[in-house]
Structure 1
Amino acid sequence: MAGQPLIALPGRHRRRLPPATRAAVVSLLWLAVVVIAPRVTPPPDVRAAALFVHLISMLIGFGAVLFVDWSGILFLAGRRSFGDVLRTAEGALTPTWIGFTGLLGSGLLLSPQVTHLTTIKLLAVLVVGLNGIYAGTLATRLSRFRGYRPPTPLLIQAGLATALSQLAWWTAVIIGYLNSQFL
């Protein structure tokens, strides 16, 4: 009605699951893909669509991770504030998990041949998910230092989580590429 003040209603606040519960969910979803995917033989057009979704999911998830990591490098070089890094990480959270979830979902329809390389790739994907949960808990702790530089031990933990993330993502990407070329 005209003349009445607008009332701002508080937004829905989602309660996050504890990290152990999130890790269990990621592990169970990953295990379902590992068990089911080799037993599924989709028609070629469905497999082609799943491969497209897989590649797009990789682009979205890994692209978001790379962008956050680049922001962290700029912070270490003195070219961005720590608040900038936190805002970048917060903004990348949803695309990162959309990409990861898309990888798992599309992976169900890719009928991977189980080889040593595929096993390493699958383990790398699990590490990406579990490390992502750990990185999220670190981000929560780091957000308390939005206005100034966090303690060095916390930055070291964030750096190690970042290095592990990069190692796992690149392992999955390279093995995925090798599998597509030689299997």
Structure 2
Amino acid sequence: MLAAPRSAPSELVHGIALFGHLVSVVVGFGAVLLVDWFGLLWLTGRRPLADVLRTARGAHVPTWLGFAGLLTTGLFLGPPAVPKAVAVLVVGINGVYAARLLPELSGRPDLPVRLVVRAVAATAISQLAWWTAVVLGFLNTRS
């Protein structure tokens, strides 16, 4: 919020930034949705945990590239609304937490219930924060 320009960008800069912002949503949130889908399949007994962990490791870079792209392009879309900025902050902090959970989930034959609860909570927070940011971003562009 502090780095965003105080004046509105030109129409050209805004258009380029908006396109980059949308691409970043597709890349970052798309990777998150894929990992969460595999996690849901694991919770319902349709996939082994190893598939979820492999997918999470593979999606790590696109997730963070998308997130970084959102932050960068968002600077050129004007000052963000505070609720959206909070949702994006939650996405980032929760992403760091989820990344730290990954090694704890790896290499264990039986997961403790507490660890599964932490992983499910991180997933739920991720989904809630990403969807909140997307919806608020959409509403912000409509006003």
Q: Shorter-chain TM-score: which interval? A: over 0.9
Q: Which residue of 2 aligns with 1:131?
A: 94
Aligned counterparts, 1:77-96, within 5 A: 77-96=44-63
Say which SS state the counterpart of residue 144 (structure 1) adopts.
Answer: coil
> Per the alignment, do residues 71 and 149 of structure 1 end up closer, same or farther by CA in structure 2, a change over 3 Å counting?
farther
Deviation at 1:38, TM superposition (A): 4.3
Runs of 4+ in 1 over 3 A off after TM superposition: none
Specify every segment of 5 or more residues in structure 2 that has no aligned partner in the other structure, as ranges. none
Q: Which whole-Å deviations, capped at 9, do the CAs of 1:133-180 have from their partners, x for residues lacking one?
A: 0000001111132xx341111000000000000110010000011111
Query: Percent same amino acid at aligned positions?
Result: 55
Total equivalences in the alignment: 143
Which amino acid in structure 2 is aligned with residue 160 of structure 1? A
> Per the alignment, do residues 141 and 40 of structure 1 end up closer, same or farther by CA in structure 2, a change over 3 Å counting?
farther
Q: Which residue of 2 aligns with 1:179?
A: 140
Larger Rg: 1
Pick the aligned partner of 2:2 from 35, 38, 42: 35
* Backbone CA RMSD of aligned residues: 1.1
Specify every segment of 5 or more residues in structure 1 that has no aligned partner in the other structure, as ranges. 1-33
Deviation at 1:181, TM superposition (A): 1.1
Deviation at 1:41, TM superposition (A): 3.2
Q: Which residue of 2 aligns with 1:166?
A: 127
CA contact (8 A) 1:40 1:109 kept: no
What TM-score, normalized by structure 2, do the two folds share?
0.96
Asked if residue 46 in structure 1 is aligned to residue 13 in structure 2, the reply is yes
Aligned counterparts, 1:140-159, within 5 A: 140-145=103-108, 148-159=109-120
Which amino acid in structure 2 is aligned with residue 108 of structure 1? L
**Following the alignment from structure 2 to structure 1, what is the Cα–Cα distance between the partners of residues 16 and 34?**
27
Q: Which residue of 2 aligns with 1:64?
A: 31
Which amino acid in structure 2 is aligned with residue 121 of structure 1? K
**Following the alignment from structure 1 to structure 2, what is the Cα–Cα distance between the partners of residues 161 and 174?**
20
Aligned counterparts, 1:89-108, within 5 A: 89-108=56-75
What TM-score, normalized by structure 1, do the two folds share?
0.75
Q: Which residue of 2 aligns with 1:6?
A: none
Q: Which whole-Å deviations, capped at 9, do the CAs of 1:110-144 have from their partners, x for residues lacking one?
A: 113x6xxx211100000000100000000111113
